[in-house]
Amino acid sequence: MSVPAPRLVIAAPASGAGKTTVATGLMAALTRRGLAVSPHKVGPDYIDPGYHALATGRPGRNLDPWLVGEELVVPLFLHGAAGAGIAVIEGVMGLYDGAGSGEFASTAHVARLLDAPVVLVVDAARQSRSVAALVHGFASYDTRLRFGGVILNRVGSERHESLLREALAESGVPVLGAIRRSDAVAVPSRHLGLVTATEHGSGAAGAMDAAEALVSGSCDLDALVRLARTAPPLPGGPWSPDLAVRAAALTGTSTVVTGASAAPAGAPPVRSGASTAARGVPQVPEGIRIAVAGGRAFTFGYTEQAELLAAAGAEIAAFDPLTDEDLPEGSRGVVIGGGFPEVYADELSANEPLRRRIAAFGGPIAAECAGLLYLARSLDGRPMCGVVGAEAGMTGRLTLGYRDAVAVRDSVLTREGERYRGHEFHRTAVEPAPDRPLFRWRGGADGFADGRVTASYLHLHWAGHPHLAARFAAECARPEDRAAAPRAG
């Protein structure tokens, strides 16, 4: 079976060239034309997909071979693109920049897996004829790529544009757009990058409108759509959360990254066999409610996580720790993902009724990064939930990178010896560190686990480990003991 899926990858020579502006502006422009646009982002980024969702009205989805394995990239893409007329995939960093020292998990790697045309966004400021040498180098570096053309960004004037086009005409690379310098699309940033779309509020919509106007007025939309339609049909079919959870629950195994060929240079080898088996996966329960944190302080979770929990029989109920004084009625479990609680520490602390409710909650809690901070005793001196016996606070150090981790303890999610590929991205720390961490990797360890609580800095993409959803949902179906508050350590 093969599936037609018109698609484009928007890449750049390096970060900061403007590919987010071009990608989101293109998504918005094509959506305004009446196309159903499927938005995707290469890598673990959790800010850009929020703007993609705003531009298209569809969930932003990540494509990351490191987190889910190469074999799932096409099925996950087809799952997200189902029913769409075109897909736009925004790259990460420079076109050939991957995890570690190689190209694994780079934009080029994902473009090859998807057999998708690549459009290179070039920051043309402060250069003219040299742009041809730059583009020629990127276009010829890997002949396996479908290099479709270039969009020039931050062009200074008509004269500047003429010089750039003249130089590129000799290279034979089509110019699909030339965008003038503009401050209208600027999005505020802070310690971990851009402000999220949810937090930016009406300002995000204004920036999106400005990006759409720039792309519509400066790029050849018809040529870009034609280029997307040159992408060949993709083999196989879409990923199914129902089938993924069913397989995990019935067979006790999970899709994991195995084999030396999947490991970027410098990463420890992933052993096949028992160490990667998802042992002890229970039968799928039904009819349980799981509360998932959202709002301005908790903006990040991979879309597929909620889909897997729903496939495992759960009803997802959103709550906002900034404003809601109680968990959704009937909640049997709590998931608290990523975000920026450090920015909202005063408001989170002021919501004492919810903090007390979570501290007394007897059901399973799964927390990642921002969720770990919220579950701590305090965050930058403000009282938090006190579920995790540690203090959290901002530091001057950025912790960033992929992790090839081993679960060294059983928990509500994991079994000892299982391998997990994850990602860290934070400027905070917790003290004291766990005496018995949940995960270890080369050069590091992390994670609190006790009873029915797990809290870690490690972001996991559950599509690569669907047994996590089956286990968590099954644990939520067990009777709760609300008499004793859980404490993780």
Catalytic sites, residue numbers: 369
Residue pair 254/466 in contact by the 8 Å Cβ criterion: yes
Helix (H, G, I), strand (E, B) or coil at 243: helix
88, two tokens = 């736009």
Distance of alpha carbon 447 from alpha carbon 409, whole angstroms? 10
302, two tokens = 């991979």
Choose among 291, 381, 290, 293: nearest CA to 340.
293
Choose among 368, 377, 231: nearest CA to 298.
368
Paired sense of beta strands 444-446 and 439-441, if any: antiparallel
User: Residue 288 contacts by C-beta under 8 Å, 6 or more apart in sequence?
Assistant: 313, 314, 315, 332, 333, 473, 476, 477
The radius of gyration computed from the CA coordinates of the chain, to the nearest angstrom, equals 23
Strand-pair partners of 318: 292
56, two tokens = 């298209």
Element (H, E) at 347: helix 345-350
Distance of alpha carbon 79 from alpha carbon 141, whole angstroms? 31
Cβ neighbours around 435 below 10 Å, total: 8
Residue whose tokens read 């982002």: 41
Cβ neighbours around 386 below 10 Å, total: 17
Distance of alpha carbon 384 from alpha carbon 375, whole angstroms? 6
293, two tokens = 């944190």
